[in-house]
Chains A and B, each alone.
Chain A
Amino acid sequence: MSVRVDPPMAMLAELTHRCPLACPYCSNPTELLAKETELSTEAWADVFQQAAKLGVLQLHLSGGEPASRRDLAELVIAAREAGLYTNLITSGIGLTERRLRELDDAGLDHVQLSLQGVNAVMADRIGGYKGGFDRKMHVAEIIAEIGFPLTLNAVMHRENLDDLPQTIDMALRLGARRIEVACVQFQGWALVNRAALQPSWEQVETAKKTVARAVETLKGRLVIDFVPPDYYADFPKACMNGWGSTGLNITPNGTVLPCHAAETIPHLQFEKVTDRALTDIWYEGAAFNAYRGTDWMPDLCQSCERRDIDFGGCRCQAMAVLGDAAAPDPVCTKSPGRAALDALLVEEVQEVAAPEFVYRR
């Protein structure tokens, strides 16, 4: 069976791995790329042009902390010239009023501000950066003053999931239009801290109810997108619309990935935008074709009625938990891998006191 490949809709550009924070749930790889290896301004501008021609509509400027790039405003100009809807994903640290106004002039469409906690004690402990919370609040005020559309991106886990109502209140107070309540997904550095981050089943059930109520009462005022932690689900999350179907990811040195965590799959070979045209990498690259469509799937998924709903789930999670990237996602209760996941849950969540975080420094 040959797979029809559509053009991608979205691209995540990891401009740098540098970041002043040290979140224990960082999903970037455990080995970070150094500043010297980062793509230049011109190289990124060329990537944006190629991406737009390929069919990308939305660009997410991410990191690390993208504000660590001095040329951020120039990059936004280049992205807008290419015709891309440009979203900045930031912790706010490193953004001053002057820089935000430059970004406004550059045509930045949207800001997504990450939130580590609803008060300084929690947020600064999680981010591992003293004074970070106050600076973030200040940045949020300037964002509102300029009038950037704002999404608050709250990463939730064992320590702060109970603060969900206050987190939603904060989104309203900061004038956000949208809040993303994202429970930690265990990729990259987050795996190191999985036991400390994994919420309990009760916490998750309460959170689901809080979200459902808020969605109703805040309709038309605040859009709420909720990503529950998938270890407690019966079936896996859909991997986007299937591997290599809707989005791509570029690392600071120009490596093109089908997904953010794809480098955790050791046998995949990735190519760089500096070596090959983006279109060729998307349509013909080996890593993009590795799990496209349904041919790669085990029989269990091939014959399953959810085959075209969850696409067998997350390849990176199958790799991380089972050591086999071609297995059904271990979240799936029909799969043999589920036992391994349940064992982890029992082992990690029953501890009364969560273990200490390991900060990434």
Chain B
Amino acid sequence: MTPDDVPYLPRGVRTQFDAVRKVDVILGPERVLVLDQVGKAVVGRLDGEASLAEISADLAQVYDAPVDVIAPDVTAFVEDLRDRGMVHVRPR
């Protein structure tokens, strides 16, 4: 993926609060992933508008961390979700 790519949750993938286990989860076909704080923050920004670079910049500000530290983690996380079929990507 490139920094300009716009990731989004396609139809059939959604997040939900699991009231029994008290965790946030992301649900897709045959897949359930538990989201931690950071995961939730990333997934919550996959609005189909923001590019990967913009999402990293935003998170760097929120977590008060350098963007070149944040960006590789964000990219790896989003790419992993893409490989599991839970995130789709469109070019800017």
Residues of A within 8 A of B (CB): 7, 9, 53-55, 57-58, 83, 85, 87, 109-110, 112, 147-149, 151, 177-178, 180, 219-220, 223, 225
Pairwise interchain contact B12-A109, C-beta atoms closer than 8 A = yes
Pairwise interchain contact A54-B20, C-beta atoms closer than 8 A = yes
Minimum C-beta distance from A140 to chain B (A): 16
Hey, which chain B residues are within 8 Å of A55, CB to CB?
Answer: 18, 20-21
Pairwise interchain contact A149-B20, C-beta atoms closer than 8 A = no
Minimum C-beta distance from A182 to chain B (A): 12
Minimum C-beta distance from B20 to chain A (A): 4
Q: What is the interface residue range for chain B against chain A?
A: 20 to 34
Residues of B within 8 A of A (CB): 10-14, 16, 18, 20-21, 25, 27-30, 32, 82-85, 89
Pairwise interchain contact A219-B12, C-beta atoms closer than 8 A = no
By Cβ-Cβ distance, the 7 closest A-B pairs, closest first, are A149-B12, A55-B20, A223-B85, A85-B27, A110-B29, A110-B12, A177-B85
Minimum C-beta distance from A75 to chain B (A): 18
Pairwise interchain contact A7-B32, C-beta atoms closer than 8 A = no
Residue ID in chain A nearest B85 by CB atoms: A223
Hey, which chain B residues are within 8 Å of A7, CB to CB?
Answer: 20-21
CA distance A85 to B21 in the complex (A): 16
Hey, which chain B residues are within 8 Å of A149, CB to CB?
Answer: 10-13, 28-29
CA distance A57 to B14 in the complex (A): 12
Hey, which chain B residues are within 8 Å of A54, CB to CB?
Answer: 20
CA distance A7 to B13 in the complex (A): 22
Residue ID in chain A nearest B87 by CB atoms: A220
Instruction: Contacts A178-B85, A220-B82 given; indicate if A57 touches B25 (C-beta within 8 A).
Output: yes
Instruction: Contacts A7-B20, A219-B83, A220-B89 given; indicate if A57 touches B32 (C-beta within 8 A).
Output: yes
CA distance A55 to B22 in the complex (A): 10
Pairwise interchain contact B16-A178, C-beta atoms closer than 8 A = no
Hey, which chain A residues are within 8 Å of B27, CB to CB?
Answer: 57-58, 85, 109
Hey, which chain A residues are within 8 Å of B83, CB to CB?
Answer: 219-220, 223
Pairwise interchain contact A223-B12, C-beta atoms closer than 8 A = no
